Structure 1
Amino acid sequence: MKAVVFRRHGGPEVLTPADRAVADPGPGEVRVRIVVSAVNPTDWKQRNGRGAEAGTEVPETVPNQDGAGVVDAVGPDVTGFAPGDRVWLIIAGAYGPASGTAQEYTVLPAEKLVRLPDGVGFDEGAGFGVPGLTAHRALTVAEDGPSRLSPGALDGRTVLVSGGAGAVGNAAIQLARWAGATVVATVSSDAKAALARAAGAHHVLRYPDPELAARIRDVAPDGVDLVVEVAAGVNAALHPQVLRPRGTVAVYGDDRGTGTLSLDFGANLWLNSRYQFLVLYTVGADKLRAGAEDITAAMADGALRLGEDRGVPVHRFSLADTAKAHSASEEGVTGKVLIDIK
């Protein structure tokens, strides 16, 4: 079968085409024919080595965590899935070096598969894996908030989404709206403001702005309940200015930051504020499954969709152009990078 692999850490140039054998599923495993693969920052960071020296050799690795496709074969003891089922995948590449989605077939444990609802495309299944699960976790960690999302779960809550035109920011806006929250988003340009509005944000504010805290308070006089934060270090001073007492900051990124977070002790102390850091790889299987179920329900309701009309421009590449797809993501293209597996 056709695949793309890397055998050493480095830039997109280390991604090369390969012919790989099609593996048979073992006990508890399922073989999936990949239709669409998606690229996220975690994918090119893994390829780069996350701080490892460029050129460091690694086992032959198929990149990309997210994908969607059709069940091709099931192993012994698998129930709940059958050949022909349409599915999306939960961080597929975390299962092993050979399990990424930049290939025609991958073999995974059945628990990493989620049934794709009727009427929902493979693009959505691939495109909302890592971003959707990250956004779901961010929206369900507040002290006074719900642990699951559904219509009405966030009624009466105000959510501030930092970087509302990013992939996670977009998913957070769409999911928060579906769950009933009032959503305030911050963005860096007018073009991104249009995308955040298309995603469903009630209020969109530009940064940088020395009056940003005041503008947020204008639309949320009592403070926001939850911040979905992509730029923790840069925005640390903003948080206590806009949080309500017992508010939560859900941190998944440090864009434009230094890797070190400095907090105002007194301001956060008197607010009883909570910081919850999150990454999918160690969040726990139960949290991933809960997120996958809620995301699937939102997709089935039509509340979670790709496309510029929903604030997510789509950029398509072929499997042969996987290196170009990684470059596009790494260079910060706005929207979702998808790879069609032929």
Structure 2
Amino acid sequence: MPDSYQAVAFSRYGDAEVLDLLELAVPEPGRGQVRIGVRAAAVNPIDWKIRSGALADVMPVELPHVPGIDVAGVIEAVGEDTQGFAVGDEVLGKALAGSYAEKALARVDRIAAKPTELAWELAAALPVAATTAHHALDMLNLTPGETLVIHGASGGVGTLAVQLARRRGATVIGTASDTNHDYLRSLGATPVRYGTNLGERIAATAPGGVDAVLDTAGHGSLPELISLAGVPDRVVTLADFSAGQLGARFIAEEPGDMPAILAEVAGLAAAGAITVPLTSYRLADSAAAHRASETGHVRGKLVLIPD
């Protein structure tokens, strides 16, 4: 086996052009860890927010830094205490750091077996979005017959949250730009346009009222969304850091049952019961993927494929 591998990294904060291909030494997995030969990775907004330096005060990284959390691939080495996993297993999950690479380390409590029939690209698109969406719906204690508003419903988390909420028997109203309205309808959500007077448009769409809100978009809409829900503790956000001041709930922690959630959602995806639109890039074109993500208008997920 080669003693080095290619990874995309940045050695200074900046725009997407700071991303570059580097040769790194192959890491050995520690206790409770496996090394994955990466078949696909996915881009999340937090990746470029870290790269830009916008989060340097709260989430500093050691430079050079390899971005990326979402990963799908084949286990090629195992550390101690990795019962249930072996070399050759196909898995998906969250890398410790650095999935924009040919190889990545992951803890066994953050991965699950990949169904054979699940495509690599879709497998890589699921971990962050699926566990976040699932965890948010659990935090909201969503029950059948309730009406849920998902603010920013056409992105990765929103796409999965719509489908998982519909499977729980909820009525879903999703906010998005006009170009994504037909897409949201195809997922089973009623679309509402972003922008000024958002609360009025949602209220008109939900004459029976709104029971819960998941905010994936931010943009200062949280006070309006809380007003719609009536009580702040039935509003969860992953995009607005003012949540605590307003009484809403911010998703800051990971779910404790991550392997079970990954297995559940991977099974649904393999069976065609849920779907995520994908746009694929070569690993070497990670800068282009970041620029696309930074527009804020991605439908579904962006996926990186090592050569």
TM range (shorter): 0.7 to 0.9
Residue matched to 1:323: 287
Query: Cα RMSD between the aligned structures?
Result: 2.7
Residue matched to 1:193: 181
Question: Is the counterpart of residue 229 in structure 1 residue 215 in structure 2?
Answer: yes
TM-score by length of 2: 0.86
- Secondary structure of residue in 1 paired with 2:220: helix
Q: Distance in 2 between matches of 1:107 and 1:261?
A: 33
Residue matched to 1:305: 275
1:24 Cα deviation after fit: 2.6
Is this contact kept in 2: 1:223–1:244, CA < 8 A? no
Q: Distance in 2 between matches of 1:293 and 1:89?
A: 10
Tell me: CA distance 1:291–1:226, structure 2 relative to 1, closer, same or farther (3 Å): farther
Structure 2: segments with no counterpart, 5+ residues: none
Q: Distance in 1 between matches of 2:263 and 2:67?
A: 25
2:40 aligned to which of 36, 43, 50: 36
Residue matched to 2:137: 139
Residue matched to 1:243: 229
Identity %: 34
Residue matched to 1:112: 110
Q: Distance in 1 between matches of 2:201 and 2:286?
A: 42
2:193 partner letter? R
Question: Is the counterpart of residue 68 in structure 1 residue 60 in structure 2?
Answer: no
1:175 aligned to which of 164, 167, 181: 164
Residue deviations 1:12-31 (CA, integer Å, cap 9, x gap) = 12111111222232332211
1:205 aligned to which of 178, 182, 192: 192
1:134 partner letter? T
1:5 Cα deviation after fit: 1.5
Residue matched to 1:270: none
Is this contact kept in 2: 1:33–1:106, CA < 8 A? yes
Tell me: CA distance 1:238–1:33, structure 2 relative to 1, closer, same or farther (3 Å): same
Q: Distance in 2 between matches of 1:87 and 1:208?
A: 40
2:282 partner letter? S
Is this contact kept in 1: 2:151–2:214, CA < 8 A? yes
2:168 partner letter? A
- Secondary structure of residue in 1 paired with 2:212: strand
Q: Distance in 2 between matches of 1:244 and 1:52?
A: 35
1:49 aligned to which of 33, 50, 53: 53
Q: Distance in 2 between matches of 1:131 and 1:238?
A: 24
Tell me: CA distance 1:4–1:216, structure 2 relative to 1, closer, same or farther (3 Å): closer
Residue deviations 1:195-249 (CA, integer Å, cap 9, x gap) = 2112221x21223363x54553455334222101134463234335432568611
1:89 partner letter? G
Residue matched to 1:276: 249
Residue matched to 1:15: 19
Q: Distance in 2 between matches of 1:44 and 1:25?
A: 26
1:60 Cα deviation after fit: 2.2
Q: Distance in 2 between matches of 1:110 and 1:262?
A: 32
Tell me: CA distance 1:184–1:78, structure 2 relative to 1, closer, same or farther (3 Å): same
2:154 partner letter? A
